[in-house]
Amino acid sequence: NAGVTQTPKFRILKIGQSMTLQCTQDMNHNYMYWYRQDPGMGLKLIYYSVGAGITDKGEVPNGYNVSRSTTEDFPLRLELAAPSQTSVYFCASSGQGGYGYTFGSGTRLTVV
């Protein structure tokens, strides 16, 4: 039971570099989400998707992009990394109805 798989687990980026955080789920869930967790700030929604080909912005989308070409994959793209994007990123998925997320183990990103 893989659930939600995120790669990489850790990454250090230099300011201005770009990268893609990968997220794959094997539960055939329609709903997928990207959150970031900053210390003392809880989880903030970056982008979400309700199905393949459908994405929408969350609370903090600036500096990020997503795509959802398949049900399984929901990559998060960072363009022109900034120190403010230093955070722990979590991908999550849920079945029809949208409640009861299954989270991945997270990607810890540091931008220097």
Partner 1 sequence: DQQVKQNSPSLSVQEGRISILNCDYTNSMFDYFLWYKKYPAEGPTFLISISSIKDKNEDGRFTVFLNKSAKHLSLHIVPSQPGDSAVYFCAASGLSSSNTGKLIFGQGTTLQVKP
State which residue, 17 or 75, has the beta carbon closest to partner 1.
75
| Contact call for residues 102 and 93 (beta carbons, < 8 A) | yes
Sign of CA dihedral 65, 26, 37, 88: negative
Minimum gap (Å) between residue 78 Cβ and partner 1: 19
Q: Is residue 45 near partner 1 by the rule CB under 8 A?
A: yes
Of 2, 14, 28, 100, the one binding partner 1 (CB under 8 A) is: 100
Residue type, position 58, single letter: G
**52, 46, 104, 85 alpha-carbon torsion, rounded to 10°:** 130
Of 76, 106, 109, 111, the one binding partner 1 (CB under 8 A) is: 106
- Give the H or E element holding residue 6: strand 4-7
Prior bond to 8 cis, omega within 30? yes
Of 58, 61, 63, 75, the one binding partner 1 (CB under 8 A) is: 58
Of 50, 52, 72, 82, the one binding partner 1 (CB under 8 A) is: 50
Binding site for partner 1 (CB under 8 A): 4, 31, 33, 35, 40-45, 48, 50, 56, 58, 90, 92, 94, 97-106
